[in-house]
Amino acid sequence: MNHPNPEELELLALGRMAPAKRASIKRHLGRCARCAKSFQETKDYVAAMQAALRKLQDRSNG
């Protein structure tokens, strides 16, 4: 089985992954518990990062 690497999971979490590749990685995540778990962690990390960025932007705008 070909596991997606952390960079690919990050692109997917950011919504920047090419559609063709996204479909195959999502299929993999449906079958591979290990990658599904790392993707969940990547999504949490990306969400935390985006929230922190938003906070910084609010501060510079206000």
Supply the angle between the helices 6-14 and 33-61 in degrees, to the nearest 10. Answer: 50
Stretch that binds Zn ion, among 7-15, 18-26, 35-43, 54-62 (CB under 5 A): 35-43
Residue of 3, 21, 26, 54 that binds Zn ion (CB under 5 A): 3
Question: DSSP character for 17?
Answer: S
11, 13, 17, 35: which one contacts Zn ion (CB under 5 A)? 35
Q: How many residues bind Zn ion (CB under 5 A)?
A: 3
Instruction: Supply angle C-alpha 38, 40, 41, rounded to 5.
Output: 65
Contact stretch for Zn ion (CB under 5 A) within 1-9, 19-27, 43-51, 52-60? 1-9
Residues counted in the chain: 62
